[in-house]
Amino acid sequence: MSDELDWIDWLRLLQIPGVGNETARKLLSAFGLPSQVFQTDLSVLQTQVPARIAHLILQAPDDTLKAQIALTQEWLQQAGNYVLTLADARYPRNLLMIPDPPLMLYVKGHLDLLTASSVAVVGSRNATAQGVQNAEHFAENLSRAGLTISSGLAAGIDAAAHQGALRGVASTIAVIGTGADIVYPARNRTLAHQIAEQGCIVSEYALATPAIASNFPRRNRIISGLAQAVLVVEAAAQSGSLITARMAAEQGRDVFAIPGSIHSPLAKGCHQLIKQGAKLVETAQDILDEIQLPKMTKSVPSATSDPVEMPVEHELLSIIGYDPVHMDVLMARSELSIHELSGQLLTLELQGSIEMLAGGLIQRLHTAP
């Protein structure tokens, strides 16, 4: 940047009531950099924006804005914290190419990850144990292959994807819907600190911005925009992950989805995506083949092999099968008493071989590639 304090004018512009990304881009297109916008005559400004907004643009910074600038300056004094504007040479090129790029990015961690080859991994907040395993294993193997994993730091699939990616070599990017100085949800505080140290946290929202419901769908365009492709692990028929997938398709990114049981509500969204043209994947190598990156190193299990099953230490696993099954059906299939069946199911659950679902259903688990 020509001036390390250029971000102040950008922040000032975005903090004006009634000026969002769209209006700001209109002003920038008409007058140039934010500093030039603030030097424009009132009558000329009113050719682009309503009179009320034009008057606000020419007002001196108020105490609220001054406090926000001071907070940001203090935050920037901490090692590993950055503010990037649309005019910054370090601004990620992938985001410049999307229809609605954020005008400012607050970045905490390793800045170089924003320009690394990456895949977004998203899915349900209320994930099943199998979905969490799938997210972790896919993310870990893709990370070991050199792909940075971007996701949204939400509970469930997002958190699992970040954790898997951190075990690889390419790390992870968390795109959040609050200020970069806030961790949400609080349960992911330890994970967020780990990502800040080993990966990268990104937000377009000003520091101290709390969790506001409408901000989270908007941040999805950044998750997909940073990536070359998006993998949806689990998603209900009405899911925020489908918003990310739609945005990815609009941005020209590949969309991948992991299929599930036809009886699982959290597979409905993935099946819907596949019907609409998303690519069905069973292994991480399926993704690597599509985006034409080098295959994973020999230091990790081959992603082209079949899924690695949990050790079959009990014939009850074969009776359970791979779709959720009710306890009553298992009793009939196994011819075991309720006490015998409950004891054996408890053993399998403690081994991590099954998951007990709501409504008396049992789901067999397997390790995803």
In terms of Cα–Cα distance, which of 179, 193, 167, 1 is closest to 90? 1
What pLDDT score does 59 carry? 93
| 210-266 pLDDT tens trace | 999 999 999 999 999 999 999 999 999 888 899 999 999 999 999 999 999 888 899
Query: Within the chain, which residue ranges are assigned CATH 1.10.150?
Result: 1-77
Cα–Cα distances in Å, from 80 out to 8, 94, 106, 107, 328? 19, 22, 11, 8, 56
Q: How far is CA 361 from the centre of its chain?
A: 30
Residue type, 77: Q
What pLDDT score does 363 carry? 77
Q: Which CATH architecture has domain 1-77?
A: Orthogonal Bundle (1.10)
What pLDDT score does 55 carry? 95
DSSP string for residues in 235-253: --SS-HHHHHHHHHHHTT-
| 15-44 pLDDT tens trace | 999 998 999 999 999 999 999 999 999 999
- Check: CB of residue 38 under 8 Å from CB of residue 8: no
Tally of CB atoms within 10 A around 185: 13
Q: Which helix (H) or strand (E) holds 317?
A: helix 316-320
What pLDDT score does 348 carry? 81
Strands 254-257 and 279-280: parallel
- Alpha-carbon gap, residue 85 to 79, rounded angstroms: 19
Query: Within the chain, which residue ranges are assigned CATH 3.40.50.450?
Result: 111-291
For the chain, the maximum distance between any two Cα atoms, rounded to a whole number of angstroms, is: 85
What pLDDT score does 293 carry? 58
- Let me know if domain 316-364 sits in CATH 1.10.10.10: yes
Q: What is the pLDDT along the chain (369 residues), one digit of tens a residue?
A: 334 568 999 999 999 999 989 999 999 999 999 999 999 999 999 999 999 999 999 999 999 999 999 999 999 999 999 999 999 999 999 999 898 999 999 999 999 999 999 999 999 999 998 899 999 999 999 999 999 999 999 999 999 999 999 999 999 999 999 999 999 999 999 999 999 999 999 999 999 999 999 999 999 999 999 999 999 999 998 888 999 999 999 999 999 999 998 888 999 999 999 999 999 999 999 999 998 654 444 334 433 334 434 343 457 877 777 677 777 777 777 777 777 777 788 778 777 777 777 777 787 776 554
What pLDDT score does 349 carry? 78
What does DSSP assign to residue 89? T
What pLDDT score does 3 carry? 45
Q: Which helix (H) or strand (E) holds 263?
A: none
Query: Within the chain, which residue ranges are assigned CATH 1.10.10.10?
Result: 316-364
- Alpha-carbon gap, residue 188 to 172, rounded angstroms: 14
Q: Which CATH architecture has domain 111-291?
A: 3-Layer(aba) Sandwich (3.40)
At residue 48, the 3 state secondary structure works out as coil
Q: Which two tokens stand for residue 277?
A: 């043209």
What does DSSP assign to residue 282? S
